[in-house]
Structure 1
């Protein structure tokens, strides 16, 4: 049998433990109630990059049937006070879609994939032939003048915007030297 003193200590410990648990529960309820009265910042209420970076004048290059690649161009306009960037692009018209730029390597124009396309705060970034562009690799359909190619841009916060880029004839940029990349004049 338990000693009366030991029983009293054990009982007192249990009462103290239960009181502490109730106090933590009450404190948790009070904190939850205080949080419930604050406006919640959720994905729905936070400003998405796709809402502040606008796409102007999108278009895609028409290519002859059988050409494996094309490109899309546009102007990105950042209406916010914060720098943003396009991290990736996608389109159902191509197996692979990459962000690219042209660089001059000792007089030879070369295309290179880039990790992102930056759009400065309150600024514009032009994607154009001979410069930054969205590369459409492994075309799944013909790129005919008068049709459109949906292009989805995904920004650094994961938000995205999709535009229908009219397919147009585009002359090679001056100084491009008529070079070819993957069978496509660029």
Structure 2
């Protein structure tokens, strides 16, 4: 019996150790009727002592995923595609509204509040990190 427990704990510790990049609080905005565009937000934690670049995001539920950044340009917020998102070593990078985020185009079906969507991060060290983005309820509008 002791041997089984030891093996299990070894497997668990290896899995925890393997997470170079952790994805936390991944969310995807529900799409508006007739819209095929949405955005994914998340916190990315780089547990390694090297900077890692997030090169792209892919998923089956949409055609195109682009890394974007919101920045001030000429006094207004402008959304620009970026080639990569730098995940600094031993730190957390937050992808959020009004900052770095993932734009999703050509969504194959409506993104429904309360549903989950599987996607993956492709990193510059040729690693892939699978994650699930939860679609959050839209704030209720008062009539």
Query: TM-score, normalising length from structure 2?
Result: 0.80
Q: Which of 43, 48, 53 is residue 85 of structure 1 equivalent to?
A: 53
Number of residue equivalences: 122
Tell me whether 1:127 sits opposite 2:95 in the alignment.
yes
Which structure's residues are more often strand, by fraction?
2
Runs (5+) with no aligned partner, structure 1: 1-49, 172-186
Distance 1:170 1:137 in 2: 19
CA RMSD of aligned residues (A): 1.5
Q: Larger radius of gyration, structure 1 or 2? A: 1
Runs (5+) with no aligned partner, structure 2: 1-17
Q: Which of 94, 99, 122 is residue 67 of structure 2 equivalent to?
A: 99
| Cα deviation, residue 71, structure 1 | 0.5
Distance 2:54 2:19 in 1: 13
Between 1 and 2, higher relative CO (CA 8 Å, sep ≥ 6) is seen in 2
Q: Which of 136, 160, 167 is residue 104 of structure 2 equivalent to?
A: 136
Query: TM-score, normalising length from structure 1?
Result: 0.62
Which structure's residues are more often helix, by fraction?
1
Note the alpha carbon deviations across 1:11-34, whole angstroms, 9 max, x for none.
xxxxxxxxxxxxxxxxxxxxxxxx
| Cα deviation, residue 170, structure 1 | 5.6
Tell me the residue number matched to 1:147.
115
Q: Which of 38, 59, 84 is residue 116 of structure 1 equivalent to?
A: 84
Tell me the residue number matched to 2:30.
62
SS of equivalent to 2:19: helix
Stretches of 4+ moved more than 4 A in 1? none
